[in-house]
Structure formats: structure tokens, C-alpha cells
Amino acid sequence: MNRPRLAIWKFSSCDGCQLMLLDLEEELLALAERVGIARFLEASRRVAPGPYDISLVEGAVSTPEQAAQVERIRAESKVLVAIGACATAGGIQGVRNFLDFDQVAGYVYPQPEVIDSLARATPVSEHVEVDYELHGCPIEKGQLMELVSALLAGRRPDLPAYAQCQECKAAGTPCVMVSRSEPCLGPVTRAGCGNRCPSVGRGCYGCFGPAEEANPAALNQQLSALGMSEAEIGRWYRLYNAWVEPFRKQGGVGLKPDLPRDPVGRASARQQTASKSHE
């Protein structure tokens, strides 16, 4: 039997999701027996040409080059899977989408004119058809294995679209909002991480992105009753999944459209680093 061929791609991202693949350790060896790893630059420089049976795409599309490349990947992949908050929602860099791009570029780069970038960092699904999405920042190993096993077996993967709260209850974790007034985005966040934050007594901050039925407006009333300001609530949504609805609408709340002209603390921080390195 010909083994299905797997390719792994990366756009604007931190590589953390791909690292979850390396982090599979022993299971990675089992995986390598079942699929031919045709392209995985984190592991090997050798790249086999397409077409590919499964492409895992990490990262947000944020340059014209990437926008063209994602089309090519789609064309040569049977199944395309967007992995992680960047590829499914635009990721952290999606925060710039709320701002004026030239201003942001000027703020970040000493010579913004050499930067060739799209005004917005967007999820893969805004560019091409995506077959499956693995959420999270980073993705969860168990979900990756579930998806690959399902694709190999020709069955439907079990990737929940319901809220984190149900993982809390299944794990027997007492609700941190109800029992300790700890703000939590769990009711609007997709399950799948295995209850990481509430199980250690912290509120979920939404890294798996919106649950299917997310109702942020209703949750926000509770968050403000717990003492969060409108701006704080806005900032909470404006994290890893800022650009995807319905987080996008919430993330715009309380956002100051103009960046400070004289970036606070930035110049002095630079000087400090500089003087440290001279010591």
C-alpha cells in the first residue's frame, strides 16, 4: 500500500504548533510508519514534491507571497488542515488588523518602506477552502493524533465545537467563575484543550477561539459584574483569536485606534538593553 503523503507548511507563526508534532515523540515514529512525511522543515531539509494527501498549514497569511503560496498548497493537497490560532484565526498578529497598517509598521520597523506585507494577517480560510481546523495556541497533541488517525481510518474526527465548560464539568473542575469569581472565557471558547486552565484554578483566556454557539454579549455582562472594565474585556478577546468572529467584534471594544506617537518606554528600554550589552 502506498503511504499517504503528509506535508507541513508555515506562514506567519511561532512554529509552536509544528513543534507539537515533534513533541509526539514515540507516536511520531508510529506516524512516520503510516504516512510518508514529504515536507517537514522542522525535522528535515529534504522536501519531496507534491501532490500531497494531507497538508497541515500553520500560520496566518500576512504577506502577498504567502497569499499566493496558500493557493498553490491548496491546489496540490487533497486534505488541507489549518492548525493553530494563527492559521484558524489570524493569531496574535491579527491584532494589527484593528489598527492602521502604516502606523503599525512605522511603530515596529526602523525602515517600514522595506516591508512588503498585507495590511491584514488573516486565517487560511479567508483565502482557500479548508477541510479541517485544529484550534489552540498551540494545538493539542491529542487532537492532532485524533485528526490524523481519523483521516487514515476514513472516519469523522471527533473535534468538539462546544464550549470549554463541558470539559470542565467532565473533568470535575468546579467552575472558577461561580466558585471564586475568577473571570473566565470558557463559556465562549471551544473545548479541546483538555481543561488546562480551569483545572489549575485559572480562567480560560480563549486560546482555542470561539465555540460554535459563543455568546460573548451575555458573558460580558457577567465579566463586568465581576469587575472587569469594558477595555479589559476588549483586551481579553484581542489575544490569540482576535480577528475571528464573534471575538473580533468584542476585541474592537475599548480599543484606542491611535498608537502613541512616542512609544511609551520603548526608547528607554532600548537604551537599557544597549547599555547592558556594553557591560
Partner 1 sequence: MKARLIDKSGLQWLLDRLGSQGYEVLAPCLENGVVEAGPVTSLEELPAGVEEETEAGRYRLRFDGKEGTDLLFSHALTAMGWQRFLHPSSEPLWRAELRGGALEIQPLPAEAPRRALVGLRACDLAAISIQDRVLAQNDPRYARRRENLFLVAVNCGRAAATCFCHAMGTGPEVKQGHDLVLTELVGGGAHRFLVEAGSEAGAGMLQALPGREPEADDWEEKRARIEAASRQRRRLPEDTGDLLASSLDHPHWEKVGERCLACGNCTSVCPTCFCSRMVERTGLDGQQATHWRLRDSCFDSEHSYLHGGPVRRDRAARYRQWLTHKLHHWQAQFGTTGCTGCGRCITWCPVGIDLTEEVAALEVAA
**List of E strands, 106-207:** 132-134
Check binding of 166 to partner 1 (CB under 8 A): yes
Of 27, 100, 196, 228, the residue at the interface with ligand SF4 (CB under 6 A) is 196
Binding mask 98-117 for partner 1 (x = CB under 8 A): --------------------
Torsion of CA 10, 22, 171, 165, to 10 degrees: 0
Pick out residues in 178-197 that bind partner 1 (CB under 8 A).
178-180, 184, 186-188
Which cell numbers hold the place of 124? 487560511
SS3 assignment, position 135:
coil
Least distance to partner 1, CB of residue 150, Å: 7
Which cell numbers hold the place of 194? 483538555
Q: Report which of 163, 155, 92, 84 is spatially closest to residue 124, judged by C-alpha positions.
A: 84
The answer to whether 220 and 250 have CB atoms below 8 angstroms apart is yes
Of 6, 207, 233, 242, the residue at the interface with ligand SF4 (CB under 6 A) is 207
Check binding of 236 to ligand SF4 (CB under 6 A): no
DSSP label of 207: T
Of 43, 150, 228, 255, the residue at the interface with partner 1 (CB under 8 A) is 150
The answer to whether 211 and 164 have CB atoms below 8 angstroms apart is yes
Of 41, 75, 218, 259, the residue at the interface with partner 1 (CB under 8 A) is 218
- Return residues touching partner 1 (CB under 8 A): 27, 30-31, 33-34, 145-146, 148-150, 152-153, 155, 158, 161-163, 165-166, 168-170, 172-175, 177-180, 184, 186-188, 201, 211-215, 217-219, 221-222
